């Protein structure tokens, strides 16, 4: 008798206990029953860890003493899953809420198409109740030095056809179902970025090894995007800027000046947001961007320990 594929769902928590508990609660309503949920606490404070232990008594918890970054934290769960015979690993953000049939539809798609190595879902904006799309597949524009974008971002869900799978350049790490053999083929998530672009790097490596990458829009979930509020934080600004350059230098043959040129628009848009929030933060923003660009061009990777816990106020008074 053939058993259905066994899925391990990995949720990385970092001081988002309420989000994580809600996400796990939605997973318990899943129509796919051959699923094991693993929550990794990525160096949160003791209060958050205690809340997870108390709120998830029947869930496997892995507690990391330090914040290992997106890839490092998720890799703890991925190793756990692979060592216990996982056929698929579902990497899922804590600030998501899945529909009961989401996982079953993605597993069915991958079972029918063994050439698919990574499958994603249509990710909807949780802040407006799922009326608009946040992610319907990732595109990489190699002519601009590897600029990335989300397909159909901001469009109304009801206006975008969603009856068949489509190929993509990458699947977002907010919801990424990965076949076991992909990890065997390309390794675990790359930890050099610390935050942002890890899944993009991983997807590109998998695709270049011959794996198909798809989104099944019939599988849906809500994403509340807790990364930053109305103003992007210093950590986001630094890592997304530096890592765009690291990613481009790894996979694109074009000069990094081309990547910088095409990345200027979001840099200026962020600067305008910072200025509207508090004009006194702008000099700190400019310094941080300069540091991120310098580090990216120099190939410096990993965690910037001096950015832990910093705010625009603290950077402005340094």
pLDDT value of position 229? 62
- For 249-282, letters b (16+ CB in 10 Å) and e give bebbeeebebbbebbeeebeebbeebeeeeeebb
Per-residue model confidence as pLDDT tens digits over 88-104: 999 999 999 999 999 99
Compute how many other C-beta atoms are within 10 angstroms of the C-beta atom of residue 290: 11
pLDDT value of position 87? 98
Contacts of 16 (CB under 8 A, 6+ apart): 94, 95, 226
Q: Which of 273, 188, 276, 203 is nearest to 236 (CA)?
A: 273
pLDDT value of position 57? 86
Q: Which of 75, 109, 143, 73 is nearest to 213 (CA)?
A: 109
pLDDT value of position 47? 84
Q: What pTM was estimated for this model as a whole?
A: 0.95
Contacts of 187 (CB under 8 A, 6+ apart): 205
pLDDT value of position 48? 83
3-state helix, strand, coil in the chain (%, to 5): 45, 20, 35
**DSSP single-letter state for residue 156:** B
pLDDT value of position 43? 87
* Cβ atoms of residues 315 and 286 within 8 Å: no
Name which CATH class applies to 7-223.
alpha beta
Tell me the CA distances in angstroms from 100 to 121, 218, 308, one per residue in order: 13, 12, 37
Compute how many other C-beta atoms are within 10 angstroms of the C-beta atom of residue 173: 22
CA distance 295 to 291: 6
CA distance 249 to 118: 24
Per-residue model confidence as pLDDT tens digits over 161-190: 999 999 999 999 999 999 999 999 999 999
Domain segments of the chain as ranges: 7-223, 234-316
pLDDT value of position 227? 55
* Cβ atoms of residues 221 and 125 within 8 Å: no
On the CB side of 103, how many CA atoms lie within 13 Å of its CA? 28
CA distance 246 to 70: 16
CA distance 33 to 163: 24
Write out the chain's pLDDT in tens, 318 residues.
578 999 999 999 998 899 999 999 999 999 999 999 999 999 888 888 889 999 998 899 999 999 999 999 999 999 999 999 999 999 999 999 999 999 999 999 999 999 999 999 999 999 999 999 999 999 999 999 899 999 999 999 999 999 999 999 999 999 999 999 999 999 999 999 999 999 999 999 999 999 999 999 999 999 997 655 678 999 999 999 999 999 999 999 999 999 999 889 999 999 999 999 999 999 999 999 999 999 999 999 999 999 988 999 999 987
CA distance 82 to 78: 6
Structure tokens at 293: 């660009």
pLDDT value of position 45? 81
pLDDT value of position 58? 82
pLDDT value of position 318? 73
């Amino acid at each position: 008798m053939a058993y259905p594929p066994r899925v391990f769902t990995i949720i990385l928590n970092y001081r988002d206990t309420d989000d994580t508990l809600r996400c796990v609660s939605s997973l318990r309503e899943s129509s796919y029953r051959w699923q094991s949920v693993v929550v990794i606490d990525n160096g949160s404070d003791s209060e958050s860890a205690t809340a997870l232990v108390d709120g998830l008594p029947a869930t496997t918890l892995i507690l990391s003493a330090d914040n290992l970054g997106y890839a490092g934290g998720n890799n703890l769960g991925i190793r756990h899953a692979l060592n216990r015979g996982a056929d698929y690993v579902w990497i899922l953000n804590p600030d998501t809420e899945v529909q009961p049939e989401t996982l079953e539809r993605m597993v069915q798609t991958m079972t029918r198409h063994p050439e698919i190595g990574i499958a994603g879902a249509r990710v909807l904006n949780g802040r407006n109740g799922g009326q608009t799309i946040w992610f319907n597949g990732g595109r990489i524009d190699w002519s601009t030095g590897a600029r990335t974008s989300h397909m159909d971002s901001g469009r109304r869900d009801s206006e975008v056809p969603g009856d068949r799978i489509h190929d993509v350049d990458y699947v977002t790490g907010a919801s990424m179902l990965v076949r076991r053999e992909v990890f065997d083929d390309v390794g675990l998530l790359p930890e050099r970025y610390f935050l942002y672009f890890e899944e993009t790097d991983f997807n590109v490596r998998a695709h270049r090894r011959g794996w198909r990458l798809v989104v099944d829009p019939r599988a849906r979930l809500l994403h509340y995007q807790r990364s930053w509020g109305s103003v992007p934080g210093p950590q986001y600004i630094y890592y997304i800027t530096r890592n765009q350059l690291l990613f481009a230098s790894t996979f694109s043959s074009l000069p990094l000046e081309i990547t910088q040129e095409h990345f200027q628009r979001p840099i200026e848009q962020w600067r305008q947001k910072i200025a509207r929030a508090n004009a006194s933060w702008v000099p700190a923003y400019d310094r941080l961007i300069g540091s991120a660009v310098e580090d990216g061009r120099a190939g410096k990777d990993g965690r910037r320990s001096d950015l832990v816990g910093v705010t625009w106020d603290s950077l402005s008074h340094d």
